[in-house]
Structure 1
Amino acid sequence: MKTYKDALAGKCPFGGDRIGGTEGTPPTLAQWYPERLRVELLARNAPAANPLGDFDYPAAFAKIDLDALKAEIKAFLTSSVEWWPSDYGNYGPQMIRMSWHSAGSYRIADGRGGAGEAMQRFAPIESWWDNGNIDKSRRLLWPIKAKYGASLSWADLIVLTGNCALEIMGLPTHGYAGGREDAWIADDATYWGPEVWDPHHIESFDSMTMRDKRWRGQNGDADYDLEHPLAASHQALIYVNPEGPYGNGDPEASARDIRITFTRMAMNDEETVALIAGGHAFGKSHGMVKPDRIGAPPEMAPLEAAGLGWHNPEGTGNAEFTMTNGIEGSWTQDPTRWDNSYMENLFGHEWEQTRSPAGSLQWTPVDKNAPRTPDAHIPGKTHPLMMMTSDIALKVDPVYREICQRFMSDFDYFTEQFSKAWYKLTHRDMGPRERYIGPEATIAPDLLWQDPIPERDYALIDGGDVAALKQSIRDAGLSISDLAFTALSAAIPYRDSDKRGGANGARLALAPQKDWAVNARTVPVIERLKALKAEFDGQAAGGKRVSLADLIVLGGVVAVEDAAAAAGHTAPVPFTPGRRDTTDELTDADSFEWLRPVVDGFRNYTDEHFEAVTQGRVAPEQLFLDKAALLRLSTPEWAVLTGGLRALGANWDGGKAGVFTDRPETLTNDFFKVVTSTDYVWAKTDEAGHRFTLNDRASGEAKYEATRYDLIFGANNQLRAVTEVYAAADGEARFVRDFVKVWDKLMTADLFGETKAPR
């Protein structure tokens, strides 16, 4: 056994030959088995990581005097400290960048990223090259955060500081809502891209390798597209390389990248131009020192760096020596005032390529008599204006150019559009308006990207109504399987990442969801439930009505209770009324298309385009795990929900795959018993290994059909450990109890505010 004495001699007592190094140390589990299913990711949100326990953050934030807090932030913004001086005596532009980069990691494909949990504080995001020196911005804000403690999350403070910065520089903002709760551990689950990168130097990017891994086709080709679900054009960036794709300096190619990436961030062309032009109205870019002189990012910095990264050894290491993305200069003559000079400069001058002191490609006016911008720290010194390749892209792309000209001709309209786009950028991942907190939360009207649902203007059903409706559903002749499948299909699109999807709103009955192949079974059920709704609404007293959304969920309650009773278990299923129905006009069909599943292991569904979308890089069960994570399920909940759905016969096509029972529509633990049994031999029935039969070991007879989504619960050791609990002789009662809990969790996942039942 190695001892502490060995450690002092340079030998680590816990394995390996060096303390603090990697040479000679054993590989990690991920390195040993890179294709393994990382089931442990479902435990990353364990309560043990949260030092606040059951603290009611929304209630605490609501008590903050927002005006007083904003006044403190604004006073700080116009100050300066010696260890990190403010540019132009104003931290505003620096804080806008912090807020933007916190929110800008959002992507519409899976709702991950965004400002919602302040993940900017942790690896890998905190150490992305594009977030250089943002660690300083958060450290500057620590005194304010410390004063308010648990009542003010980092996530809320980061966004609010960006809003305050815009306001002190003259932009009327579109409002602000609090309610974002901080995460407490690094995100080791989100897939940010396939590349391996050197975090010290941007030059280490290999352009062709990066393109081959992240992009399909060549820039300009008809099939040029970004790997699903990614949004940023390069690893370690928020949007695009400001020097053009892979630093090629091509504005037209940059415009194509911008359009793809901003669309993936849920922004249309006008919002894209508004954000770029509006954001670049402020501050400057920093590129005074060669990248190879800059130290490691925070996650790799030495202990004495106190958690800060990117040490700059030149001069003071900050102020006029600051290095962030390598580009040096400002876009406007007054970088701390909201005006239209960015547009006027972009279109009022011809621009030529040049290099920054750090060697990065940028653009300066051809006309040497063009207006100049003041130095951020040295009084009386000026510099040529600067544009990035991604700025010139707005000038050369015909659609972006037309939008820019519209903004130039109507500054008030530009102001309004930038304000609204900023509001969307910083609130896009918050979900329904019920989660918004604070006196400014209702300044802006409901917007389509918030997935609005009309307020209830009728009396809510009570316990007696619920009992009568349940009986009406039972009398309607709908099967347990169809009722369970329809309720599941309404709820399963929910993703906790950005709080979109779910049963509330009854969007299952609207385009595009009603037209998805995976939802075909729900169409006749929805029509029958609509008839029951019309009947109830026409007869109910006291102005009561039942929403279709509630009725769909109530149908699922009936299915689960009756299936449990058929198995000999009395299992009342909780029901929380209060869901409302929305309309086609209030549904952004294009954005909801991003919720269409490529894989839905819960309904045993694989889209016909699975191979094309994933490009052969991921196994179906990996996406099944990903969906479980987006639903915020634990490992036992994932297993229980899947096994219960198979017992209910809730496959998308009504098929038999995974229905390991001779008692369908009965809530038994047969699925778990079969998948852990040695009585069967598993045999592939297709070359890809997606479908199987379970053959009786003694007779060779094919007894059951299965998919990878079924058999992973017996093949993966972590999942099998859980599955065995429910397969055991004493497991069925536990399974029924746990299934009811996870079913209710799924059906109420998208209820917030007063509608959410206490647990």
Structure 2
Amino acid sequence: MDNNTPASGCPFHQAGGQTSVASTDNTDWWPNALNLDILSQHDSKTNPLDPDFDYAKAFKSLDLEAVKQDLRELINSSQDWWPSDYGSYIGMFVRTAWHLAGSYRKQDGRGGANTGNQRFAPLNSWPDNVNTDKGRRLLWPIKKKYGNKLSWGDLIVLAGTVSYEVAGLKTFGFGGGRLDIWAPEKDIYWGEERQWLAPTKGRYKDDQDRSSLDNPLAAVQMGLIYVNPEGVDGVQDPLRTAQDMRVTFDRMGMDDEETVALTVGGHTVGKAHGNGKAENLGADVEGADVEFQGLGWHNSEGTGNAGNTMVSGLEGAWTTHPDKWDNEFLYLLFTYEWEKTLSPAGAKQWEPVNIKEEDKPVDAHNPNVRRNPMMTDADMALKFDPAYRKIAEDFYHNPEKLADVFARAWFKLTHRDMGPKTRYLGADVPAEDLIWQDPIPKADYTLSDVDVANIKAKLLSSGLTSAELIATAWDSARTFRGSDYRGGANGARIRLAPQKDWEGNEPARLAKVLAKLEEIQGTLVKKVSIADLIVLGGTAAVEKAAQDAGVNVKVPFLAGRGDATQEQTDAYSFEDFEPKADGFRNFVKAEYAVQPEELLLDRAQLLGLTAPEMTVLIGGLRVLGANYADSKHGVFTDKVGVLSNDFFVTLTDMSYNWKPTGKNSYNIVSRATGETKYTATRVDLVFGSNSILRSYAEVYAQDDNKEKFVKDFVAAWTKVMNADRFDVK
């Protein structure tokens, strides 16, 4: 984004907006080169905290009740520099938390509140996030007071939750444990548009089929959290908007009931702001000059705040008492007819016809004046869409049900990306296990070194090949996503629907391995979990392969995984985990718009790997023969199953020519004889063609680094196998 381009116009009422003008870096000179920046997100160099800082330990020393009391006092105050509406910051903090958490999408687990990423571009400058910068700045005194004990992610979510409590809602709970990032997540795919709020057509394969929204996106336009409140592409049509809502909320992991509850509950408090001229808004956070000190969207009109506040451009409260949790939203929605109108800023909204004076909310800053409430197109969808209306009417007649469903949906919204409950911190963590938390039974056994050695021997003599053991362990563990801490080997969900039937898991081979593991399990004195046996099988095979390479190394194994049941598995949400490609096993399910090596980077980033770790794993898995369907692509060795550095030796050997034979296939041909020695894919060859990856490949190809290669592979393998072991972290 060009920081020198002023952002004018109300966020939802502008045809144009900022365009991204790139600087001249390497990707501009060589746009087709593989960009490894996504893997730099795991670089700790940007973190200003001490290397041994333990946030979980710091949070546990926090007086959480004192923090909540400080928040209550702040919520019920009004600061001169940014006055509160109705004498309360309930709406401000709910919206700030909502827009932090609301960027989550279940397809790849990215977005959400877990990293406090709203502090950085592009999210801090999205048109939909106007004035969330004010919410964070209002919270700064509390962040300053509690310091490292309270991350921004935890503070913002807690502020929104406490705001609902102040409004009168009995919330479901709160769990801490969100780890802040310290630099922008530059390479998250938010869409291809180069303009904020560009027409939606480019994000859909078929503009009339709203379910064709480009994966993994959830928001309907660049710069939005959810849907356009003025209607699809600014055209008021509640039934069409309902289609967008259903797709968007589904991609956040929400069903129709949760969607209605979140819409109603989110708009029960606070108001929309659009009482002015859109063109008076200044640059966004990233585009504002230094004197604004990290605050964006300066409004030159009047005081610039209070009655002159500009956010979405829509203007008005949804309910009669916007600082109270009640059922007024649905009362007003179903009691009155609503007509299309424009806000003072020119944004499209709905207002009631012939509303009673006592049903109007008072002005946010003048209690002697009453104003019309308003509704967005998404709100009206709850009245027009038959399925949504049925749920909304049920909530209208059963307000206790609405409160319960909303409290649970709010908890899910703000905690969806935190992973299993073992990561939650604090006294307010609910006792109830929820299916979207992917519960796993605790293992009720311990294993001694002797136990582990005996089981390894059984696994290696079981008749299963090393490649089968390694591939099964990898397939089980590779589902881990560091974006939302879901997936991984713990739980052994690879033996359950839908994972057991995924093409990339080779169902026939998997069934054979699982049957043998269950047979071995039945012979053990201790009933070791299948999850542990899967990982231990791969670990034993790697250890033997290292020994066969002449390196005596012990591959670490951490016991204690549990076996989840089908009833504990949200099969629908796990469908998004299916690997469309896995470069580590040289698997590509179909032909995609992006190259296989780009898909490899995406998986490596989700696994939490650095570029060197990705490199060493590729080289090791190839020589171990762990390719999908026993493919020979990239198996640059005559000693398959030995953990040698042959992949890198061959890759850097100039006695070969590399000749394409298809879109994703190559022959490795001897220059001397013309004989095809090996075959390869793009994923294999990128480690020789990309200058950065080649530098790593050359390290592992060196004669003096054979042992280093084995030890680095073992470390990276162990990291992947234990990525989801939050119960011991």
- TM-score over 0.5 (shorter chain): yes
* Alpha-carbon distance between aligned partners in 2 of 1:400 and 1:368, rounded to the nearest angstrom: 24
Residue of structure 2 equivalent to 1:434:
422
Task: Find out whether 1:113 has 2:100 as its counterpart.
Answer: no
Please name the residue that 1:101 is paired with.
Answer: 99
What are the Cα deviations for residues 77-133 of structure 1, in whole angstroms up to 9, with x where unaligned?
A: 000111000000000111000000000000101100000010000000000000000
**Which position in structure 2 is the counterpart of 1:675?**
651
Give the one of 409, 412, 417 matched to 2:400: 412
Deviation digits for residues 698-739 of structure 1 (CA, Å, limit 9, x no counterpart): 222211111111111111111111111001111211100100
Provide the residue aligned with 1:684 in structure 2: 660
What's the offset of the Cα at 1:23?
A: 14
Q: Which residue of 2 aligns with 1:9?
A: none
User: Amino acid of the residue matched to residue 713 of structure 2?
Assistant: F
SS in 2 for 1:216: coil
Q: Could you say what secondary structure the match of 2:657 adopts?
A: strand
How far apart are the structure 1 equivalents of 2:320 and 2:355? 15
Deviations 1:583-642 (A, max 9, x none): 00100111000000111101111113x43xxxx2x2221111111111111111000011
Q: Which runs of 5+ in 2 are unaligned?
A: 1-18
Per the TM alignment, residue 40 of structure 1 is displaced from its structure 2 partner at its CA by: 3.3
Match of 1:258, as an amino acid?
Answer: M
* 1:291 shift after superposition: 2.2
The Cα shift of 1:33 comes to 2.4
What is residue 309 of structure 1 aligned with on the other side?
296
Shift of 1:227: 0.3
> Given the alignment of the two structures, is residue 599 of structure 1 paired with residue 581 of structure 2, yes or no?
yes
Question: Which residue pairs with 2:724 in the alignment?
Answer: 750
For residues 593-672 of structure 1, what are the structure 2 equivalents within 5 Å?
593-608=575-590, 610-611=591-592, 616=593, 618-672=594-648
**Alignment pair present for 1:578 and 2:560:** yes
**1:633-689 CA-partner distances (Å, limit 9, x unpaired):** 111100001110001111111111111110000100010111122222222222xx2
Over aligned residues, Cα RMSD in angstroms?
A: 1.5
Q: Which deviates further from its counterpart, 23-32 or 667-676? A: 23-32
Q: How many residues get paired?
A: 707
SS of the residue corresponding to residue 420 of structure 1 reads helix
Amino acid at match of 2:515: E
**CA displacement, residues 351-386 of structure 1 (integer Å, 9 cap, x when unaligned):** 111000111000001225462111000121111110
Q: Is 1:217 equivalent to 2:209 in the alignment?
A: no
Which of 44, 47, 51 is residue 44 of structure 2 equivalent to? 47
Give the 5 Å matches for 1:256-405: 256-369=243-356, 371-405=359-393
- Secondary structure at 2:42's aligned position in 1? coil
Q: Partner residue of 1:201?
A: none
Instruction: Check conservation: 2:37, 2:187, Cα contact below 8 A.
Output: no
Match of 1:10 in 2: none
Deviations 1:565-587 (A, max 9, x none): 11111111000101111100100
Q: Percent identity?
A: 50
Per-residue Cα deviation, 1:30-61 (whole angstroms, up to 9, x for no partner): 22223321113312332221111221110110
What is the correspondence of 1:405-554 to structure 2 with a 5 Å cutoff?
Answer: 405-441=393-429, 443-456=430-443, 458-520=444-506, 521-536=509-524, 540=525, 544-554=526-536
Q: What's the CA shift for 1:455? A: 2.6
Question: AA paired with 1:699?
Answer: T
Which contiguous aligned blocks of 4+ residues in structure 1 show a shift greater than 3 angstroms?
Answer: 22-26
Q: CA deviation at 1:26?
A: 6.6
State whether residues 42 and 609 of structure 2, in contact with CA within 8 Å, keep that contact through their aligned partners in structure 1: no
Asked which structure has the greater RCO (Cα within 8 Å, sep 6+), the reply is: 2
Distance of 2:726 and 2:204 partners within structure 1 = 38
Output aligned runs, 1:2-41, within 5 Å: 27-41=24-38
Alignment partner for residue 733 of structure 1, among 707, 715, 719?
707
Measure the CA separation in 1 of the matches of 2:387 and 2:80. Answer: 45
Question: In structure 2, do the counterparts of structure 1 residues 23 and 470 end up closer, same or farther at CA, with 3 Å as the change threshold?
Answer: closer
| Equivalence for 1:185 | 183
TM-superposed CA distance for 1:25, in Å, is 10
Instruction: Tell me the SS of whatever aligns to 1:229.
Output: coil
Check the 8 A contact 1:351/1:364 in 2, yes or no.
Answer: yes
Q: Is the 8 A contact 2:203 2:214 kept in 1?
A: yes
**Partner of 2:155 in structure 1?**
157
Shift of 1:558: 0.9
- 1:315–1:23 CA distance, 2 compared to 1 (3 A): closer
Q: Following the alignment from structure 1 to structure 2, what is the Cα–Cα distance between the partners of residues 45 and 653?
A: 31
Q: Distance in 1 between matches of 2:129 and 2:611?
A: 33
The one-letter code sitting in structure 2 at the alignment partner of 1:557 is T
**d(CA) in 1 for partners of 2:520, 2:399:** 53
Cα offset for 1:346?
A: 1.0
Given that 1:218 and 1:224 are in contact with CA atoms closer than 8 Å, whether structure 2 keeps it comes out as: no
Q: CA deviation at 1:444?
A: 4.1
SS in 1 for 2:361: strand
Summarize deviations over 1:166-214 as a string: whole Å, max 9, x none. Answer: 000000000101011110111111011110115xxxxxx442xx41x21
TM-score by length of 1: 0.91
Q: What secondary structure does 2:678 align onto?
A: strand
Q: In the alignment, is the contact (CA less than 8 A) between 1:225 and 1:260 conserved in 2?
A: no
Match in the other structure for 2:678: 704
- Structure 2 distance, partners of 1:23, 1:66, is 42
Residue pairs, 1:129-140, within 5 angstroms: 129-140=127-138
8 Å CA contact retained: 1:639, 1:722 = yes
